[in-house]
Amino acid sequence: MPRSLILMRHGKSAYPLGVIDHDRPLAARGERQAALAGEWLRAHQPPIDAVLCSTAARTRETLAATGIDTKVSFEPSIYEAGIEQLIELIRLTDDSVQTLLVVGHAPGIPWTAWELAANRDSPHADALSAKFPTSAMAVLAVDDSWSGLGTGLAELVDFHIPR
């Protein structure tokens, strides 16, 4: 049975004056988006065994609004991570984890989803490459162990934008 990797961009954030980027909170729309994302995850995906989440306020608030209650590792490096950094973090996941959720930022999350997908000519890949808006989720099936994850070694099986 393949493992599931869910790459999620944080919900729509607010831009309060005087608040540094890392500390920006979710906007009301972002809270609604994230709650809808949580409902979709519970209805359409296997139970999430573990979460890797950026330490930024908007990612932590996104995760909280989803209502996903499982083991969470808050990873500072996700905040400005590129493709290689995100893949390296995912590779460190214990093989007992069947479904992993990663909550992060653009451009790292969408670029990583694209990089991992073997089926880049699919309707899901077309949607993902057109736009990866806030709270969107790319779901990838991974046949190998987490440590074996690499470019083109997963299948993009869903792309969902909660609205």
Each residue of 98-119: pLDDT tens digit? 999 999 999 999 999 999 999 9
- Structure token pair of residue 129: 């490459």
- Tell me the per-residue pLDDT of 31-88, one tens digit each, with 9 for 90 and over: 999 999 999 999 999 999 999 999 999 999 999 999 999 999 999 999 999 999 999 9
What is the radius of gyration, based on Cα positions, of the chain? Answer: 14
C-alpha distances out from residue 162 to 1, 12, 18, 103, 112, Å: 27, 12, 30, 15, 20
- Tell me the per-residue pLDDT of 25-39, one tens digit each, with 9 for 90 and over: 999 999 999 999 999
Mean pLDDT throughout 125-140?
Answer: 96
The helix/strand count (H/E) of the chain reads as 5, 6
**C-alpha of 96 from chain center:** 19
Q: Where are the alpha helices (DSSP H) in 19-147?
A: 28-44, 57-66, 83-91, 108-116, 123-130
Mean pLDDT (the chain) is 97
What pLDDT does 1 receive?
A: 77
Model pTM score:
0.97
Measure the CA–CA gap between 141 and 102, rounded to whole angstroms: 14
- What amino acid occupies position 22? H
